[in-house]
A = this chain, B = another copy of it.
Amino acid sequence: MTAPAVLAALASPRRQEILRLIWSEERTAGAIHRAMPDVTFGAVSLQLRSLTEAGLAESRAEGRHRFYRARREALGPLGRMLEQMWDDALWRLKLAAELEHTRRGPRPRRRTVKARKG
């Protein structure tokens, strides 16, 4: 629940993937796992714990199932940013374009060619 913890939680692509799945509807841990078959159930469970501890997800138990959902309120403006990121492909392009003018370029090419021993 410390400030960087929220950002750290969002930093992992895996956790973002999960957050996206539970963004607009709650899902059971199993359903989430089924949506990402390249990883173990245990791994998903651990990430769900991270998200919960960071305050980005919450869960409710029902029988032997546990339903998870995102805590969108806890994210504030960040939530809207994520939504944009997800369904607005332009976001990436815009950022990339903005970067162009800053880039230090592909190896500025040294001007003074000093003698090398050997």
Contacts and interface: CB of A to CB of B under 8 A. Distances in A.
Interface of A: 1-4, 6-8, 10-13, 16, 52, 55, 58-59, 71, 73-74, 76-78, 80-81, 85, 91-92, 95-96, 98-99, 102, 104
A88 to B, nearest CB: 10
Given A76-B81, A77-B80, A78-B81, A11 B8 contact: yes
Contacts of A85: 3
Contact of A99 (B55, B59, B91, B99): B55
A65 to B, nearest CB: 15
B95 A1 contact: yes
A52 B102 contact: yes
